[in-house]
Amino acid sequence: MKIRIKGNSIRYRLTKTEVETFSKVGFYEEKTEFKDHIFKYVLQSKEHISHLEADFKNDTISMYLPEKDKLAWANSDRVGFQNTIALGNGKELFLLLEKDFVCLDETIEDQSDNYPNPLMNKRK
């Protein structure tokens, strides 16, 4: 699982295996270790919500997907989910959860478990 943060925007991207694992168990976690701390980012299914939600506690960003969407996501063509949360101070937090596609540009990153990019055929 990859995370991208820019300002008040958080995006998670998951490979095929990560989406399948999440859909089965309702939880997926990655971490980055520092000398004195561990930063974690988590995707978790949650009952009684209708859109993506998120919080930040104990050095962990947790993004929550409605339980009802968990199983269907892995077995569908749906790329992902998004939601904008009002923070109550005139600001917003944008959340985006996506399947990770193979990059169209050259990259040294292993992409063997990424989803086929639907734009690949359009480039030929």
Q: What is the pLDDT along the chain (124 residues), one digit of tens a residue?
A: 999 999 999 999 999 999 999 999 999 999 999 999 999 999 999 999 999 999 999 999 999 999 999 988 988 889 899 999 999 889 999 999 998 866 656 666 666 666 556 666 655 4
Residue 25 in any domain: the answer is yes
107 inside domain:
no
Cα(124)–Cα(119) distance, integer angstroms: 9
- Number of domains within the chain: 1
- Tell me if 48 is assigned to some domain: yes
6 inside domain: yes
Within a domain: residue 111? no
Q: Note whether residue 106 is domain-resident.
A: no
d(CA 122, CA 117): 10
Taking alpha carbons only, the member of 74, 79, 78, 67 closest to residue 12 is: 79
pTM to 2 decimal places: 0.84
Domain hosting 65: range is: 2-98
Query: Does 103 fall in a domain?
Result: no
Residue 104 lies in a domain: no
Cα R_g (the chain), whole angstroms: 15
